[in-house]
Structure 1
Amino acid sequence: MQQADLGAPGDLDGSGLRVAIVQARFNAPITGQLAESCFAELHALGVAPADVRHVTVPGALEIGVALAALAETDDYDALIALGCIIRGETYHFELVANESGAAVTRVGLDHGVPIANAVLTVENEQQAWARAADKGRDAARVAVEMANLLESLR
C-alpha cells in the first residue's frame, strides 16, 4: 500500500470546477474580507468567475440551510461557508458556533459534497481581522483540493 505524503498539497487546479459561496452578512466587514480573498484565490487557482455563485444569508445559523439548498441542485463541485462569530457576554456564542459548524458538516456528509468551512469563531474583532484574509484564501484552496480529490475517488 502506497503512503501519501501528508505534507504535499493535493490537486489545486480549479479549471472547470463550479463553486458556490455562502456568506453571512453578520459582521459584514469581516465576512466581506473573507469573501474578497476567497474570490481572488479561486481565480488564481483557475476557477472561472462565471463558475462561482455567491449568495448571502443573515448570519452563521442560516449558512447551513443555504448550503443544503445549493447541494441539492448537484450543480456544484464544492461549497464554501464564510462567516464570523465573535464571542459576546452570553452563551449565544457557543450555540451559534456549535450549531453552524454542525450544520456545515452535516450538509457535506449528507450530500457528499466538499464544503470548506471558513466560519471564524473568535474572541474579539481583532482576532477576526487577523485571520480573515488567510482563511478566505484557505477556504478556496480547500474547496478546489477536495473537489478534485472526491472526483478522483468516484
Structure 2
Amino acid sequence: MQKAEKGQGPELSGVGLHIGIVQARFNADITDALADACKEALLDLGVQEENITLVQVPGALEVPMGLIALAERDEFDALVALGCIIRGETYHFELVANESGAGVTRVGLDYGIPIANAILTTEDLSQAIARQTEKGRDAAYVAVEMAQLLTDLAPSE
C-alpha cells in the first residue's frame, strides 16, 4: 500500500538521539537502498552521523539477534530493522517473514526500546524496488517519533 495516508504526526527532531540500525545483507541491493534512505532521513531529522550505528547480519532471521546485541549496549534511543524477503515457491517465505517479524517485536518489548521494522515482505523484486526508498525513510521517521514519545512518557524523577 504505497503512499498510504499515514496521518499527521508530531514535529520530529532527532537532535541528541542515538539510533542503531541492523541491516540484513540478503537481497543486498534492496537492503543497501533501505539503509541509505534511512540514514539520509535520520540526518535530515537532525541525528548526528556519529550517533548512527549500522551493523549488518546475513539475513532477516538474524536481524533480531543483531537488535539484541545493540539493545544490550543500552546506548540507543531507538533501533531500526532493515531487510528484504521476496516470496519464492516454497513455504520458506512465510517462515522467514513470520519469525523475523515476531523476533523484532519481541526484542522491542523485552528491552523496552522502540524498533522501526522495515523488513520488506514482497511478492517479487519489482515490489521491493518500488518500496525501498520510502520504507527506509519511513523507518527513520518511526524511530525518531517513537524515541520522542517514550522520552515524553517517561516518569519524571
Q: State the TM-score, normalizing by the size of structure 2.
A: 0.93
Cα contact 1:11–1:149 (8 A) shared by 2: no
User: What's the TM-score, normalizing by structure 1?
Assistant: 0.95
Q: For 1:12 and 1:28, how far apart are their aligned partners in 2?
A: 29
After superposing on structure 2, the runs of 4+ consecutive aligned residues of structure 1 that deviate more than 2 Å are: none
1:86 Cα offset (Å): 0.1
What are the residue-to-residue correspondences of 1:12-91 with 2, within 5 Å?
A: 12-91=12-91
Corresponding residue for residue 146 of structure 1: 146
The Cα RMSD (Å) is 1.0
User: What is the CA deviation profile of residues 89-120 of structure 1, one whole-angstrom value per residue up to 9, with x for unaligned ones?
Assistant: 00000000000000000000000000000000
Provide the secondary structure at the position in 1 that maps to 2:17: coil
Q: In structure 1, what residue type is equivalent to 2:94?
A: E
- 1:11 deviates by 4.0
Q: Secondary structure at the match of 1:118?
A: strand
Is residue 125 of structure 2 the alignment partner of residue 125 of structure 1?
A: yes
Give secondary structure in 2 for the equivalent of 1:13: coil
Quote the offset at 1:7 in angstroms. 3.3
Q: Secondary structure at the match of 1:22?
A: strand
Q: Is the 8 A contact 1:20 1:79 kept in 2?
A: yes
2:100 maps to amino acid: S
Mapped to 1, the partners of 2:23 and 2:7 lie a distance apart of: 30
Report how far residue 10 of structure 1 moved: 2.3
Could you say if the C-alpha distance between residues 10 and 51 of structure 1 is closer, same or farther in structure 2, counting changes exceeding 3 Å?
A: same
Give the unaligned 5+ runs of structure 1: 1-5
Separation in 2 of the partners of 1:71 and 1:86?
A: 27
The 2-side partners of 1:36 and 1:141 are apart by 14
Q: CA deviation at 1:8?
A: 2.5
Question: Partners of 1:21 and 1:78 in 2: how far apart?
Answer: 9
**Displacement after TM superposition at 1:72 (Å):** 1.2
Aligned length: 149
Aligned equivalent of 1:98: 98
